[in-house]
Chain A
Amino acid sequence: MKTILSLLVLFTLVSFTPISTDLGYDIGDVATDFKLENIDGDFVSLSDFEQAKGFIVVFTCNTCPYAVLYEDRIEALNKKYTNKGYPVIAIMPNNVKTKPGDSMEAMQIRAKEKGFTFPYLMDADQSVYPQFGATKTPHIYILESTDRGPVVQYIGAIDDNYKDAALVKTKYVENAVDALLNGVTFEVHKTKAIGCSIKL
């Protein structure tokens, strides 16, 4: 009986919840932790970073030209913010059968070539990117560590010029992290980034 009742409740809830095409996290949502394999063979979770004030989570890959254009800027973000408490956590969301250039081995090679100092994780069963609602590479989520868990504070682009870092006028991610570190409010919590669709 109990099961039937809860099923009924669930059904009612489901049928009256508007169907949203925008699945995934919105600003203010608490992100669920994950455990994904890093290029060094270790498994990495957000909870491993006990001292972190937050995270710059970057969905990225080897094969998307937009992601490649941002590689150096992602590394620079990690260098600038790891010690301040906001490490970069990069997650590769593509299906490697569709994109062999994003295989674990290819990720290891690319990380070595570019001297990545951040974890470069493989979303091997493609279960983490849908939780976030990531749709493309590169796609950034800034999380702030709180008593409730990691709260989503920013979603979108790294900055306003994918083509040339030297011509950037607004550094969305840096502005957001700086504001979070200084405990002040900030205006731009969401931007649109051009990217390559995540490969299924």
Chain B
Amino acid sequence: MKYLFVLVVFLNLSCKSEKNDPVVLEVHDFAGIAPYLELKDSKTYVVNFWATWCAPCVKELPHFETLQANYKDSVEVILVSLDFPHQYETKLKPFIQKYNLKSKVVVLDDPDMNSWIPKVNPQWDGAIPVTIIYNESKRLFYSRTFTLRNWNWNLKHFFNNP
């Protein structure tokens, strides 16, 4: 497994006094992302594939953030960003800071898409956004954007009172 931690060493050193919590990105190839799709504990996991330049993806992020805030202990939202490496500093990190994302963000950088798209889900045709919600007993794959209404409705599969 190849872990590529992009550390903002320069930012870290120069701006330490101003920014108390600089964004550190966790960047992986697919082998590094795969474990997040197979976590086995009592939590419910929401894994969403997105990018800052994908308008429908950005539009549905608040639903995930709200869920994460409401279920701190029993839910973990994992936002898998497909932003391009040359935009980590200029787009992705500023986005995470601007919207103060509380959900965990990991970055997938693996251009051999045909090798990993079917591993995420055989039904996935490769268009983003997509979301997988799973826990010990259930696993659902959504190749669509959530509106607040269908998001809340779908959550009823996992929670009594989303």
Using a CB–CB cutoff of 8 Å, the interface residues on chain A facing chain B are 21, 65, 135-136, 156-157, 160-164, 167, 169, 172, 191-199
Contacts and interface: CB of A to CB of B under 8 A. Distances in A.
Interface string B90-103: 00000000000000
B62 interface: no
20 contacts: A21-B123, A157-B113, A160-B115, A163-B85, A163-B111, A164-B111, A169-B112, A172-B114, A191-B114, A192-B113, A192-B118, A192-B124, A193-B113, A193-B114, A193-B117, A194-B126, A194-B128, A197-B56, A197-B127, A197-B128
B127 A192 contact: no
A136 B84 contact: no
Interface residues of B, number: 22
Interface in B66-113: 82, 84-85, 111-113
A65 B53 contact: yes
Nearest to A137: B127
B127 A156 contact: no
A161 B118 contact: no
B28 to A, nearest CB: 15
Given A65-B53, A163-B84, A194-B82, A136 B127 contact: yes
Given A157-B114, A163-B84, A192-B114, A135 B53 contact: no
A160 B112 contact: yes
Interface of A is mostly: loop
Given A65-B84, A163-B84, A156 B128 contact: no
B12 to A, nearest CB: 27
A193 B111 contact: no
Given A160-B111, A162-B111, A167-B111, A196 B54 contact: yes
A167 B123 CA distance: 27
Interface of B: 51, 53-54, 56, 82, 84-85, 111-115, 117-118, 123-129, 145
B144 to A, nearest CB: 8
A191 to B, nearest CB: 4
Contacts of B124: 192
Given A65-B84, A192-B117, A197 B112 contact: no
Contact of A161 (B112, B117, B125, B128): B112
A157 B54 CA distance: 19
A195 B126 contact: yes
A112 to B, nearest CB: 23
B53 A192 contact: no
B159 to A, nearest CB: 25
Chain B CB within 10 Å, residue with most, of A135, A156, A172, A196: A196
A195 B117 CA distance: 11
Nearest to B115: A160
Given A163-B84, A192-B117, A193-B114, 19 more contacts: A21-B123, A65-B53, A65-B84, A135-B126, A136-B125, A136-B127, A157-B114, A157-B126, A160-B113, A160-B114, A160-B115, A161-B111, A162-B111, A163-B111, A164-B111, A192-B125, A196-B128, A197-B128, A197-B129
